[in-house]
Amino acid sequence: MTDSDELTTRLVRLREAQAVEPMPPWAARARRLRALEAMLRAQREAFAAAINADFGQRPAEETDLLEIFPSLSAIRHALAHGRRWMKPRRRLADLLFLPARTELQPQPLGVIGIIVPWNYPLYLAIGPLVDALVAGNRAMLKMSEFTPRFSALFAEQMAKVFAADEVVVVNGDATVAQAFSALPFDHLLFTGSTAVGHHVMRAASANLTPVTLELGGKSPAIIGPGARFDHAVERIVFGKLVNAGQTCIAPDYVLLPRARVDDFISTAGKVLAQMYPALGSSKQYASIVSDRQYQRLVELRDDARTRGAQVHRLSEAGEDPARRLLPPQLLSGVNDEMAVMREEIFGPLLPLVPYDSIDEAIAYVRAHPHPLALYLFENDRSLVDRVLTRTHAGGVSINDTLYHIAQHNLPFGGIGASGMGGYHGEAGFRTFSHVKPVFRQARFNGAGLLNPPYGARFRRMLDLLLRRG
C-alpha cells in the first residue's frame, strides 16, 4: 500500500530530476528505451507466467502475441523514428513579417502519470510508457490490483532498470488509484472503464491536468450485404475470443443481414471448433480474470435470457466457475432493454442484431454512444465510404478486427464516451510533448513601423495590413 504523501514525494523527486534535464538529448531517451527492451526480453517468460497465474489461465501464446510483441515493436519504432520526431520543424513566417523565421519545437511535458488496467497489464503499461520516454518525459505508473502477481513482478523489475527519479511503478488498491489520479501530473493517461473515467477526469480537473482517456464502449461489427461472409465470421470470432473477450476493442455485438443470423451461428460453431478444439481442456483459451467478472458475465447472459433472448452455445464444454472458464455463447433476439445491450460486455458473449438494410445498421450505430472501435466487413467501396462517413468511432478496421491498434502510424484513442486523445508512435510523442511555437525576429525588420505615436506612417502601414489580411 502506498499512501498519498508517499505518492507526492515520488512525484516531487521525478519533477525535480526533470527540471535538471528538461530537454533530454536523444542519447538519454534511447538509453531508457533500450533498457526497457532488454528487461522485456529477459523477463518475457516470467511475465507470461505471472499473468497466467493472475488470470487462472492465460495462454503464453496470447501474452506473446498481444503484449510482448506489440511492446517490443513499439520500442523499435520509437528508436527508429524518435530522433526525427524531436527535431524542431521549420515553418514559413507570414509574408509581411519576413525575414523573420518560425519553427515548432517539441518539448517534454514533464512527468506523465499512467493508470494501467488489468486486461492487458503489460502492453497497456509499456505502450504509453514508450511514448512518454521517447518524448523525453519521466513517468509514474499505477498498476492494477486485479493482476497482483504481475504488478508486483513488473514493479520489481522496473526498479532494477530505472532510477527512482526516472520511472516509478506503484501498486495498491482503489484508494491508491484515487490518490494517484489526483496528483498534479503534467499529463495523465487512463485506460479503463467509462464509469471510472468520469472519476479520473474529475480528479485531474482539480489540477487542470490534461488527460488522455482510453475507455471502452460497445464496439460493433457490421457484416455488409457484400461481405465475404465466412471470412467475416472467422475474423469476428477471433477478435471476440482472444483473451476470452476481455479486450477493450473486442467486437461487442454484430449487425448482420436478418437472413444470415442462423448462418452466423452455424459458421461460428465451426470456426470455434477449429480454433479451440476440446475447449473444456484447452490451455489456449483464457479464463475470466476474477470471480467478480465471471459472475457479472453470467448475470448479463441470464438477464438477456430472462428477457427473451436465445442463448446459443458454441461448444459442448461446460461452464466451470472454479476455473472461471466461460465458453463462448451467442445471443439472438436481443433488444436494448437488456443489460447485455447497454453495458460493455468484456467477455465471450456476443449478441447478434439483425438488420433489413445497411442504412438501418448505420442508424443503430449512430443512435448509441460512439464506440472505441468499429469493424466493417464489406467489399463495395461506396458502401464502405458511406459507413465511414456516417458513423463515429475511435478507430476502424475494414474486413478484419483488432489490427488497427497495431499500426504505429495510426493513433489509438476514443471519441465521446469511448475516450479522448490518442497515442501510439508519433501521435503518442505529440500527446506527451508541448509543440512550442517559436518566432525568431530578424535583426533588420520593419516591426518598429507600427510603434506609436500613430501618425500618417502608421495609418499607411495599417491600410496595407488590412488589404493583405
The residues that are catalytic are 214, 248
Q: Which residues of 209-218 are buried (b: 16+ CB within 10 A; e: fewer)?
A: bebbbbbbbb
How close are the terminal C-alpha atoms of the chain, in Å? Answer: 60
Q: DSSP labels for 95-132?
A: GGGTT-EEEEEEEE-SEEEEE--SSSTTHHHHHHHHHH
Rounded Cα–Cα distance for residues 187 and 109 (Å):
7
The secondary element (H helix, E strand) that includes residue 69 is helix 69-85
Identify the CA nearest to 249 among candidates 361, 355, 48, 400: 400
Rounded Cα–Cα distance for residues 83 and 64 (Å):
28
Residue that the C-alpha cell 488496467 belongs to: 117
Q: How many CB atoms lie within 10 A of CB 172?
A: 19
Rounded Cα–Cα distance for residues 28 and 17 (Å):
13
112 contacts 210 by C-beta, under 8 angstroms: no
For the chain, give percent helix, strand, coil, nearest 5. Answer: 50, 20, 35
369 contacts 394 by C-beta, under 8 angstroms: no
Q: Which three cell numbers stand for residue 252?
A: 461487442
